[in-house]
Structure 1
Amino acid sequence: MIQAVDVTKDPELSAKLITDATNLDRMHDLDTPGAWEFDFTKQEKYTFSPGSVVNANAATFPALTKIGMTLAQLNLGPCAMLAPHWHPRGTNLVIAVSGNTTTYMVAENGAKPVITTLTPGRMTVFPQASLHTMQNNGCENAQLISALDTADTGTTNVLNAMFDNIPQEILAASFGIPDFNVEEMKKGVAGVGTGSVMGSYECQKRCGIEGGKTNKAKRVVDW
């Protein structure tokens, strides 16, 4: 399974770029074929089944080392979504390239949720550490571009982090359900995979996906 966690492509080069004394030294280190090009479509995570988050950052694209930015391509197949998550170290701007995507963001306790509809050319912002999620509302692919103000944003998927790491008795108390069964609940939570999972059953039914069965078969191959 391909995980939505970026692995450093060339640790040795990255370490050298971090310690370079001058920009000229840095340019010499990056004087190799392909060092200044990044093809999103050629990355291992790239897929629309059900979707993916492909990051160009210091780990995946060494030329961004010390630049302090991440550019991500968000690919959402029909009814796909990015599950609720946050970036502990980054604010991100998201602009739609194609499709119709609804986003939901909660900044903190007491703040009203912010809901936006992103169609081509429309943009929204998710401040650092804000909880957010988004779903492709259509039966065709949607694509968005996300720019973040750090090369190491970090991502925390809420449900995965909660069910995989918090003791059952704490979750039971939090949900107010004495006989809360973590293992049973976890069965319905998709892994982080390439960063995207199937969205609402209403959308899947409308698009004839039949509860995600169409994409579930593909997911075994792509992830």
Structure 2
Amino acid sequence: MIPSQMIVFLVIFLQSYISLAYDPDPVNDYCIPRTEFSSIFLSCKNTSLVTVDDFIYSGIKDPGNFKHTGFSSIPVSSTVFPGLNTLGMSFVRADFDVDGVNVPHFHPRATETAFVLEGKIYSGFVDSGNRVFAKVLEKGEVMVFPKGLVHFQMNVGDSPATILGSFNSQNPGLVKIPSAVFGTGIKEELLMKAFGLNDKEIAKLRKKFVPQ
């Protein structure tokens, strides 16, 4: 028979695990962070000091610079838009040149919905059974990418395209597969065996994806 103390411990552990698995629910209407003493959000502003400007962000009115790489993204989190703090959401503007690609990636802490503002985007994700769900989306269409699943996008139109993405987390996280695999310190021998590549091919990929 399990001791009562152990049962209590297990209940507390499970409750803590569930709580940590998602953004916590806010305990106030909003929490505009005070940052005058530190870059770390330590507390909320006094509500008498909060203005409408704290809830407005203008940083994605214009597209990012996508001409060099074919793709750009402008993340909008509480770091740049304090009004989002504690509300469990964030978003991103992504701009694509013709043939521009948002490489396979995933967000470990959030589901994403992607709305095509302009253009035609080949968009999809891969589930845990390696099944691909992909389709060309046109202006006005929305696709959802389940939390933690690899997804991707490519502009297949004949003009620049734009997507607005929304996340159900204040800090969704971002792991780009090419950079995570070839731009980190994974042993070269392992990569050669995993992908069937030789040392020169691995070196070329490392040079491309290692942060400069």
Letter in structure 1 aligned against 2:158: C
Structure 1 CA distance for aligned equivalents of residues 191 and 103 of structure 2:
19
- Is the contact made by 1:88 and 1:129 (CA closer than 8 Å) also made in structure 2? yes
Query: Within 5 Å, which residues of 2 pair with 1:1-223?
Result: 12=38, 15-16=41-42, 19-20=43-44, 27-31=47-51, 34-41=53-60, 46-49=64-67, 50-108=70-128, 110-165=129-184, 166-177=186-197, 179=199, 181-189=201-209
- Is the contact made by 1:105 and 1:126 (CA closer than 8 Å) also made in structure 2? yes
Structure showing greater radius of gyration is: 2
Q: Per-residue CA shift, 1:189-213, capped at 9, x if unaligned?
A: 596x9xxxxxxxxxxxxxxxxxxxx
Larger relative contact order (C-alpha < 8 A, sep ≥ 6)?
A: 1
Q: Structure 1 length as normaliser, TM-score?
A: 0.69
In the TM superposition, what is the alpha-carbon distance from 1:74 to its structure 2 partner?
1.4
Structure 2 gaps, min length 5: 1-34
- Is the contact made by 1:91 and 1:148 (CA closer than 8 Å) also made in structure 2? yes
In the TM superposition, what is the alpha-carbon distance from 1:26 to its structure 2 partner?
5.4
Residue 208 of structure 1: aligned partner: none
Structure 2 CA distance for aligned equivalents of residues 26 and 147 of structure 1:
28
- Is the contact made by 1:14 and 1:58 (CA closer than 8 Å) also made in structure 2? no
In the TM superposition, what is the alpha-carbon distance from 1:160 to its structure 2 partner?
0.8
Q: Structure 2 length as normaliser, TM-score?
A: 0.72
In the TM superposition, what is the alpha-carbon distance from 1:80 to its structure 2 partner?
0.8
Question: Which aligned runs of 4 or more in structure 1 are off by greater than 6 angstroms?
Answer: none
Structure 1 gaps, min length 5: 1-9, 194-223
- Is the contact made by 1:75 and 1:141 (CA closer than 8 Å) also made in structure 2? yes
Structure 2 CA distance for aligned equivalents of residues 120 and 190 of structure 1:
34
> Helix, strand or coil: the match of 2:139?
coil
In the TM superposition, what is the alpha-carbon distance from 1:177 to its structure 2 partner?
4.0
- Is the contact made by 2:54 and 2:83 (CA closer than 8 Å) also made in structure 1? yes
CA RMSD between the two structures: 2.9
Residue 3 of structure 2: aligned partner: none
Structure 2 vs 1, CA of residues 148 and 51 (structure 1 numbering), >3 Å: closer, same or farther?
same
